[in-house]
Chain A
């Protein structure tokens, strides 16, 4: 046991690996923000909408008008500082806070990928990623070290392993494996991609993609860990993510994952990458090879660090299983669906028509959702109960301000899940304005009429 502890926690390993991770992460984040900005998405997603959906408990996090651009600017600047390793701790904390704030501003844009970035940047706050090949280390040779404790690299491997493995576990359900859903819906519409266009509408291909996707997610952490299978595993990583990039609109994420998995390789590769960068910019790499080992000092703060990292990973392991505490089908109610690495599992579409009833006169009318929501928001709202509830409360507030009295809000909501005929989603007799958001089960969601077996 002690030996294991020594090998995976405290044993000194090359700091170059973490330095490469830091540099590539910073660059990818910078590119992602520039890309987001250049597509005009800041304006479209955070400035134009009149209303923003909040995460429970984070209702205070809202876009700040035109200043939202400054927030993105700060985030991009922090990403650059992370990449070059300048004032690293401040930079990564700033990045984590600004990026996470951006994601909290509107729940509509939730993606597992964004959550992954938040989580990753959070853990990086505690890692000595700037002790090697960084401006910090160059400016202050006392802070420069060639070796770091093994856990600082292993925790990144663990995080990536959790993301993949949990994504694989989530695919072990009857829709994915036995009905090839939702790929059976998504793939045929990709008939115009090169090479694969002819094949994607074949049923066997849809099953092959489903099964191999699940197998990939479950196996890849182990194939990457084991030295002999590692090169093969990396080829798989590239093929898998490139395929997803070609087939689905998932932006930068495939590239980020490809680059992140480089952490599994031996330090020799990372040294080569650093040598390459050194040559490119004429930086003397050797000065960082000072043979010293980075050492977390003793004292309260470092111990707190270990505690935070420990609790963090406990939560990462447990949180995805919180859905077990809720009754009903997870895919249907989505209670405990987010923050669990459930990626691309559902083709879910909804339609929600809200009815406003004046409690005094009994007069009623329907809401035109486009008066308040963007097309994107309406689409996301129509099949997620927490959105529906939040929007219903907003409508009550809005129409009472308009002079309607004792407003009750009902919804006629139809949802289709993984190719099933749309059925009623929310109990139409429930006045949603009387229901409160909480972590308790939402008993006003109509029961799912089918069954999905599995995890």
Chain B
């Protein structure tokens, strides 16, 4: 009897100890009602990689438009350059949230879109002629916001801006834009290449349920993006909800002035499409956070969490769509009440994702490596 007991104890302890390295390979064809692996491949193959591809195409087009403008600084070419910039900037809103793997290791988001951009520093660097845009200290003088300054912020109208590209500093100016675009292009190409060469499989095969598994990590990244960059960065900070004073200069695409809400809405659409597992550019959906919630049968208060979250996304979209550009909302209204109300709708999604969704999925937010009860 005793031997038997200690046998059981021994085997059980061995089991407990070995499972500490949670890297046990699992046959994906199990009876689990929801396949995290299928969701991961849908994310990678139908959303993330196609979106990055489209973004790379936009960056190429942006380079082309710039080349024409550089060779012939006319108003038409400026407008074309601006159009390409806006189109690429909108596409950026669809990839900004994927800050995991290759994008995370190069810090793509912080290199592409730190705003407000430091125009004094740009002017200084430009005239000095020596600068290294890959330095992390130079993140606030490059990317889309720096381009915004060059194509929208140098003068009151197109003629004034064109004049700047014909004055004695034009070489330095073109040189600086060359460097900004080269930096954006390299970063983008590297991220796209890394996803396609190896990271896709790393991402999809890490289909477990630990804090380091792809689903857990990416859901954290996704919510972090929504909360810090979409909600706070694009609306909350310029509105002054964390400081008490509106800061219109902190609006995205400040110099353009008219498109901040358009960029926001693109980002909102992207996060909702991602939630629903909608393929990029194709009207089709796959396994997603929404279907995961359905599979977990999270029926709450007689309504399904998937529907509640989508309804709130729609409410936020309606509220923001009714606004003018964020810059005009903030500059022309004291206090900017309509934008505050819209912000509240955007805010309401945060607890739904951060509390209800993750607790249904048993994903820990900001995973803390400490013991539980």
Considering the chains assembled together, what is the distance between the CA atoms of A186 and B358 in angstroms?
Answer: 11
12 residue pairs bridging A and B, Cβ less than 8 Å apart? A188-B362, A231-B2, A238-B12, A239-B8, A248-B372, A349-B355, A363-B244, A364-B244, A366-B241, A376-B366, A419-B359, A420-B300
Q: Does B30 belong to the interface (CB within 8 Å)?
A: yes
Q: Are A249 and B371 in contact, CB atoms less than 8 angstroms apart?
A: yes
Among A109, A379, A422, the residue within 8 A (CB) of B352 is: A422
Q: Are B371 and A347 in contact, CB atoms less than 8 angstroms apart?
A: no
Q: Are A246 and B351 in contact, CB atoms less than 8 angstroms apart?
A: no
Q: Does B356 belong to the interface (CB within 8 Å)?
A: yes
Residues of B within 8 A of A250 (CB): 371-373
Q: Are B24 and A193 in contact, CB atoms less than 8 angstroms apart?
A: yes
Considering the chains assembled together, what is the distance between the CA atoms of A165 and B241 in angstroms?
Answer: 49
Q: Does A39 belong to the interface (CB within 8 Å)?
A: yes
Known: A192-B24, A246-B19, A419-B300. A235 touches B8 (CB 8 A): yes
We find that the number of chain B residues with CB closer than 8 angstroms to chain A is 58
Q: Are A358 and B359 in contact, CB atoms less than 8 angstroms apart?
A: no
Residues of A within 8 A of B210 (CB): 192
Chain B, Cβ-Cβ closest to A383: B355
Considering the chains assembled together, what is the distance between the CA atoms of A33 and B359 in angstroms?
Answer: 31
Residues of B within 8 A of A113 (CB): 371, 373
Q: Are B243 and A365 in contact, CB atoms less than 8 angstroms apart?
A: yes
Q: Are A242 and B359 in contact, CB atoms less than 8 angstroms apart?
A: no
Q: Does B167 belong to the interface (CB within 8 Å)?
A: no
Chain A nearest CB, measured from B40 CB (Å): 13
Among A248, A378, A416, the residue within 8 A (CB) of B366 is: A378
Residues of A within 8 A of B156 (CB): none
Residues of B within 8 A of A215 (CB): none
From 1 to 41 in chain B, residues with beta carbon under 8 angstroms from any chain A beta carbon are 1-2, 5, 8-9, 12-13, 15-16, 19, 22, 24, 26, 30-33, 36
Chain B, Cβ-Cβ closest to A244: B16
Q: Are B371 and A192 in contact, CB atoms less than 8 angstroms apart?
A: no
Q: Are B19 and A194 in contact, CB atoms less than 8 angstroms apart?
A: yes
Known: A347-B362, A365-B241, A414-B355. A193 touches B12 (CB 8 A): no
Considering the chains assembled together, what is the distance between the CA atoms of A185 and B245 in angstroms?
Answer: 42
* B-contact bits for A290-316, CB 8 A (1 contact / 0 none): 000000000000000000000000000
Considering the chains assembled together, what is the distance between the CA atoms of A376 and B300 in angstroms?
Answer: 27
Chain B nearest CB, measured from A421 CB (Å): 4
Number of A-B contacts (CB under 8 A): 152
Chain B nearest CB, measured from A362 CB (Å): 10
Q: Does A273 belong to the interface (CB within 8 Å)?
A: no
Which of B13, B33, B300, B359 lies at the interface centre, i.e. has the most chain A CB atoms within 10 A of its CB?
A: B359
Residues of B within 8 A of A414 (CB): 351, 355
Considering the chains assembled together, what is the distance between the CA atoms of A249 and B243 in angstroms?
Answer: 39
Residues of A within 8 A of B363 (CB): 189
Residues of A within 8 A of B26 (CB): 191-192, 197
Give me the interface of B with A, judged by CB distance under 8 Å: 1-2, 5, 8-9, 12-13, 15-16, 19, 22, 24, 26, 30-33, 36, 207-210, 232, 236, 240-245, 296, 298, 300-301, 303, 305, 308, 347, 350-352, 354-356, 358-363, 365-366, 368-373
Main secondary structure of the interface of B (DSSP, over half): loop
Residues of B within 8 A of A192 (CB): 22, 24, 26, 207-210
Considering the chains assembled together, what is the distance between the CA atoms of A239 and B15 in angstroms?
Answer: 10
Given contacts A231-B2, A356-B244, 8 further A-B contacts (CB under 8 A): A239-B8, A242-B13, A366-B242, A368-B232, A375-B368, A378-B366, A379-B368, A416-B359
Residues of A within 8 A of B16 (CB): 242, 245-246, 254
Chain A nearest CB, measured from B299 CB (Å): 9
Q: Are B209 and A191 in contact, CB atoms less than 8 angstroms apart?
A: yes
Chain B, Cβ-Cβ closest to A355: B241
Closest 10 A-B residue pairs measured CB to CB? A375-B366, A251-B371, A189-B362, A421-B300, A365-B244, A376-B368, A414-B351, A351-B351, A242-B12, A192-B208
Q: Does A169 belong to the interface (CB within 8 Å)?
A: no
Among B5, B301, B369, B371, the residue within 8 A (CB) of A421 is: B301
Chain B, Cβ-Cβ closest to A202: B31
Known: A189-B361, A246-B16, A376-B368. A365 touches B209 (CB 8 A): no
Chain B nearest CB, measured from A433 CB (Å): 17
Among A109, A356, A421, the residue within 8 A (CB) of B305 is: A421
Residues of A within 8 A of B207 (CB): 192
Chain B nearest CB, measured from A378 CB (Å): 7
Chain B, Cβ-Cβ closest to A193: B19
From 108 to 160 in chain A, residues with beta carbon under 8 angstroms from any chain B beta carbon are 109, 111-113
Residues of B within 8 A of A356 (CB): 244
Chain A, Cβ-Cβ closest to B2: A231
Which of A111, A242, A415 lies at the interface centre, i.e. has the most chain B CB atoms within 10 A of its CB?
A: A242
Chain B nearest CB, measured from A439 CB (Å): 23
Chain B nearest CB, measured from A284 CB (Å): 26
